[in-house]
Chain A
């Protein structure tokens, strides 16, 4: 049974760096084809894909946010970290992490999400 759980600050100030952790269970990030992605959703708005890291440390980023994003993993401890620099109020959103497996080409298991508010 795969579970995903996001954690991190609920409030950050403008210009600060956001660090979010995704802790997972039920799979290994050392297994070929497995990845963990990050997706966000501003209040009342649509989903937006942010980043993805694969078992082999291949990383993909949204072109519009690439300069601000970094995704890393610790496969032995079952967690993935997303950092986003220079936070702005427009970055206020619920941030989700999700499991991805190349054989399915989709995000099949999602965490409950964590709401991050950017405000001074």
Chain B
């Protein structure tokens, strides 16, 4: 049972937008602006897509955006492309004891 709750699956057609949610508590998502999103293709290591809720590392397309409201963070992928099909994981800082928690992952399918 992961600490953060994500929908197991999401889908969209090429060119469409899709939003993936990540729900935690006031002890993690709601308490810190330290939410990250990772993309993972099969057999590969996770790749950082979003950090600190809404910031994009260099090289990540601006089709990827993040936001947060209360205890729920969201990742939006606009203009879906075939290569966006992957698993997406959210994570959040959770304080000094339980330092970092992850979501259960969402499999994004591009129809």
- A and B associate: yes
Docked complex Cα distance between A23 and B82 (Å): 34
Docked-complex contact B45 and A113, CB < 8 angstroms: yes
Docked-complex contact A96 and B46, CB < 8 angstroms: yes
Docked-complex contact A110 and B52, CB < 8 angstroms: no
Docked-complex contact A105 and B34, CB < 8 angstroms: yes
> Per DSSP, are chain A's interface residues mostly helix, strand or loop, or mixed?
strand
- Are A52 and B99 CB-contacts (below 8 A) given A47-B105, A110-B47, A113-B45? yes
* B: contact size bracket: 20 to 34
* A: contact size bracket: 20 to 34
Docked-complex contact B48 and A106, CB < 8 angstroms: yes
* Residue A104 CB within 8 A of the other chain: yes
Query: Using Cβ atoms and an 8 Å threshold, which residues of chain A touch B45?
Result: 96, 110-113
Query: Using Cβ atoms and an 8 Å threshold, which residues of chain B touch A62?
Result: 98-99
Residues of chain A from 3 to 57 with CB closer than 8 A to chain B in the complex: 37, 39, 46-49, 52
A-B contact count (CB 8 A): 63
Docked complex Cα distance between A67 and B75 (Å): 35
Q: What residue in chain B is nearest A61 (Cβ atoms)?
A: B99
* Residue A60 CB within 8 A of the other chain: yes
Query: Using Cβ atoms and an 8 Å threshold, which residues of chain B touch A104?
Result: 51-52
Query: Using Cβ atoms and an 8 Å threshold, which residues of chain B touch A46?
Result: 2, 89, 102-105
Docked-complex contact B101 and A107, CB < 8 angstroms: no
Query: Using Cβ atoms and an 8 Å threshold, which residues of chain B touch A63?
Result: 97-98
Complex partner residue of A52 from B38, B91, B100, B101, CB under 8 angstroms: B100
Given contacts A46-B89, A105-B93, 8 further A-B pairs with CB under 8 A are: A47-B38, A47-B91, A48-B2, A49-B91, A49-B99, A105-B36, A107-B100, A109-B48
Please list 7 pairs of residues, one from A and one from B, whose beta carbons are closer than 8 Å in the complex, sorted by A's number: A39-B102, A46-B104, A47-B91, A96-B46, A106-B36, A110-B47, A110-B48
